[in-house]
Amino acid sequence: MKKILFLGSAAALVAGCATPPPSGPSVMVLPGSTKTFDQFRFDDNECRQFASSQIGGQTAADAQTSSAVKSAAIGTAVGAAAGGLIGGNSGAGVGAGVGLLGGSLAGTGASESSGYSLQRRYDFGYQQCMYAKGHQIPMAGRYAPYQQSSKQAAPPPPPPPGPPPPPPPAKSS
Residue 54, helix vs strand vs coil: helix
- Banded pLDDT at 19 (limits 50, 70, 90): very low
Section 31-35 average pLDDT: 91
Of 4 and 161, the one with more pLDDT: 161
Contact partners, residue 154, CB within 8 Å, separation at least 6: none
Extended beta strands in 55-116, E state: none
pLDDT band, residue 128 (cuts 50/70/90): very high
Residues composing the chain:
173
Task: Give residue 21's pLDDT band: very low, low, confident or very high (50, 70, 90).
Answer: very low
pTM higher than 0.85? no
Contact 18, 116 (CB under 8 A): no
The shares of helix, strand and coil residues in the chain, as percent rounded to the nearest 5, are 60, 0, 40
Partners of residue 30 on adjacent β-strands: 136
